[in-house]
Amino acid sequence: MGLDDDIAFFEQVPILAALDREALRILAIGAETKQLQSGAVLFYAGELADGGYIVQEGSLRLDPGTFTDGHEVIAGPGTLVGELALLTDMVCQATAIAKGPTTVIRVSRNLFRKMLEGYPAAAVTLRDIMSKRLEGWQRELAGVKTAMEKGGK
């Protein structure tokens, strides 16, 4: 794939779709493509994460780790795995295993932060998206708290 193809692919990834084409160009230039054979482990639960992976082709099985709720998840094309690791120190929440031949694009935290420094509008856009997500999670947690309080009476 060429640079324009990589940028077009990034535009299909939900969180990255909010970024402008020039910011995506920086990510596409600096990102690394990795080929995995069926059964290959991309990362293990409990490891420190220093970036995120976008599934380009194939799929990853995310097996529950110490920090997950016990359910495996399948990540297919266009899925960004390790989104928060693009911004902050994180521990991998699951073990990622290729379900078949799989291609992933790795975006390091360092690259992502440099892109944000060079494109402050992208940083504002991402902050707004994440803020809305946090507000939604906060409402969901408040609903769970209310339901638990009612169930406990």
**pLDDT for position 152:** 61
Mean pLDDT of 140-147: 83
Q: What distance in Å separates the CA atoms of residue 121 and residue 114, rounded to the nearest whole number? A: 13
- Assess whether pLDDT exceeds 90 at residue 11: yes
For 25, other C-beta atoms within 10 Å of its C-beta total 17
Q: Return the structure tokens found at 45.
A: 């639960």
Residues 104, 43 contacting (CB under 8 angstroms): no
**pLDDT for position 73:** 82
CA 141 to chain centre: 22
- Assess whether pLDDT exceeds 90 at residue 147: no
- Assess whether pLDDT exceeds 80 at residue 66: no
Confidence of residue 69 (pLDDT cuts 50, 70, 90): low
Range ranked top by mean pLDDT from 14-28, 68-82, 102-116, 119-133: 102-116
Give me Rg for the CA atoms of the chain.
Answer: 17
Q: What distance in Å separates the CA atoms of residue 106 and residue 83, rounded to the nearest whole number? A: 11
Q: Which residues contact 40 (CB under 8 A, 6 or more apart)?
A: 97, 98, 102
CATH 3.90.1150.10 assigned to 3-151: no
Domain locations along the chain: 3-151
Range ranked top by mean pLDDT from 17-31, 64-78, 137-151: 17-31
Mean pLDDT of 121-140: 83
Phi-psi region of 78 (alpha: psi -120 to 50; beta: other; left: phi over 0): left
Residues 21, 10 contacting (CB under 8 angstroms): no
Mean pLDDT of 104-125: 92
Give the pLDDT confidence of 16-63 residue by residue, as tens digits. 988 989 999 999 999 999 999 999 999 999 999 999 999 999 999 998
**pLDDT for position 53:** 97
**pLDDT for position 31:** 96
Q: What distance in Å separates the CA atoms of residue 19 and residue 34, rounded to the nearest whole number? A: 23
